[in-house]
Each structure stands twice: as C-alpha cells, then as structure tokens.
Amino acid sequence: MLHPQVAAARQVRERPPAEVLAADQLLSVRRAMEEAVEAECGPAIPLPVVVDVDADGVPCRLYASRAGVPVLVYLHGGGWCYGSVETVDRLCRRIADRSGCAVLSVGYRLAPEHPYPAALEDAETVVRWVRTEGAGLGIDPARLAIGGDSAGGQLATVVARRQRDAATPVDYQVLLYPAIDPMLAAESYDEVGSYGLDRAAMKLAWETFVPSPAARFGPDVAPLAVADLTGMPPALIITAEYDALRDEGADYADALLSAGVPVVHVRYQGVNHGFARKLALFDAARAAADQIAVSLRAALTF
C-alpha cells in the first residue's frame, strides 16, 4: 500500500514532467531542488568536520566525526542532469554521524553540459585522489566504499567494477535504487511508473547522459552488460516498492548473487523513488540512512 507520506511529499515539490527537463528550464529545476532541501531533508546534523575540498579538480564535501576512519565516496542522484552535493547533504551527514565513517560527497559534472563519460571520469578521479591524499585528510583510504542513489548508483557500481578490473578493488558498495538498464525494459515502469518517476523521464535522462545509442550497450553505461561480475565488492542494495527502477535494482542484486557476491537487497515498502534523502518527509528515509550506516560500520571497521 502506498504510504500517505508519498502524497505529502509531492506537496512540497512536484517532480517536473520530462518536457520541462528537456527545455531550457533545467537550471531552474536544479535551483528548485536545492532550495527545497530544508523542507524535504530537514536540519543539518552538526559534525566535527564538514569541509569542501578539491579532489584533483572535482569539488567534493567531506563529512567526518574523527580521524583515521574508513570512507564512503558518495555519488548523488538526479538523472545525471541535476542534483548536487547540497541535495544529499543531510543524508551524508546522517550516514557519517551514525556510522562513524567519513563520507566524501562528489560534485561530478552534469549533463547535458558534460555528457558521458564526464561524470564517470570525475568519480574515478575522486577515488584515485582518496587513495593518494586521503591520509592527509584524516581518513583511511585502505578502507574504502563507494555508493550512490539512482544515477549516482549507476556511477558507483560502474566505478566499483572498473576498480575490480584494475586490481584496486573497493571494499563495499551501497546502491540506492540504482539506474541499471538504459533499455528501460523492467516491468516496474508499467506497474508503478505513475508514482513520481516514469519511462519518459528516464528515457530523457539516459539520452541526455549518453547521447550515442551505441554507447548505451557498453558495460560502463549498463552494468548488467558486464560478462562476469565475479569479484565485485559486497553490496547493500536498497529499492522502493513504488519506484519504476525497482525491478532493475532487484535484477542487479540477483546478478551479483549469481556471481557469488555477498548482497543484502532490501525493498522499502510503500515508498517511491528518491525517498532516502528526504529525511524530513519519510520515516523510511531515516531507517534507510541508519541501515546504510550499520552496514558500513560492519563492512569497513575491520
């Protein structure tokens, strides 16, 4: 059953239709998303360390409670076209506060100004920077996780696979309703595509992010196109019952499990896409953030 908080959340900020995102109003949509942070996400949890840093040219924000701790590199959602460090600020603060780990939130370049592979390059630049410079920031680069929501989840798991292939694996991945399939084939688009995220919006997002249709078939865009997922890092995958991306997230969890990768897949009932960062609007958001924190603490505090 759809939770009443979904309808209440829509009153705070309606998701714009696809035709708006395709027009020159994209900048205003980005601003509106940031301006709604206080209403959607609530007050900021104070932390000893909240500092903006430059990771070899990529703007990031570091959250930490103490020195020498593991780190989660976090990639925000927003269809690769909008969203920012600001829109996931409250979520990152809560994860850092509850887990004891540091969180490094990445302000990667957005499409259409910077289409694929710009965002992927930025994410990989940040991971390399953490490995070489992290100790100087008081974080432990030897204990490294990567994660993200929606479009950020796609970037996160692609980076995780590329790090595996480079023999520099990360230790853990956290994927919140990741965008996995550019072909938009999941049945959940038809079943629950009227609850805030539909096929038209995701089609536009994929086409804006990766303008070349041929490129959308490659493993650096479509994670399920990878021939072998063996050796991928253990994962926490969170999906939402009323989310068009629900089934592709579940399919990716199943594919990892089939490859022998330890996976915890949790489907939050009654909620829709994007719920997890909206801590002021969804009880489930606070539960999800705390679940992420617990999983990070278990995976990285070795």
Residue among 89, 149, 220, 243 flagged as catalytic = 243
| pTM of this structure | 0.96
What pLDDT does residue 57 have? 98
Considering the candidates 99, 105, 150, 295, report the single residue annotated as catalytic. 150
- The CATH number of the domain where 290 resides is what? 3.40.50.1820
Q: Give the model confidence (pLDDT) of 228-266 as tens digits.
A: 999 999 999 999 999 999 999 999 999 999 999 999 999
35 residue type, one letter: E
Give the chain's mean pLDDT. Answer: 95
Cβ atoms within 10 A of the Cβ of 262, count? 13
Q: Which residues contact 194 (CB under 8 A, 6 or more apart)?
A: none
Torsions phi, psi of 84, nearest 5?
A: -165, 180
243 is catalytic: yes
Q: What residues make up the domain containing 17?
A: 4-300
* pLDDT for position 221: 97
pLDDT (tens digit, 9 = 90+) per residue, 130-153? 999 999 999 999 999 999 999 999
**300 neighbors 145 (Cβ within 8 angstroms):** yes
* Domains in the chain, number: 1
| Residue among 178, 107, 170 at smallest CA distance from 149 | 178
Torsion of CA 158, 162, 165, 167, to 10 degrees: -120
pLDDT tens digits for range 182-234: 999 999 999 999 998 999 999 999 999 999 999 999 999 999 998 899 999 99
Is 150 among the catalytic positions? yes
For 26-64, letters b (16+ CB in 10 Å) and e give beebbeebeeebeebbbeebebeebeeeebeebbbbbbb
Identify the CA nearest to 89 among candidates 238, 239, 277.
277
pLDDT value, residue 8: 81
pLDDT, tens digit (0-9, with 9 covering 90-100), for 85-139: 999 999 999 999 999 999 999 999 999 999 999 999 999 999 999 999 999 999 9
Is 105 one of the catalytic residues? no
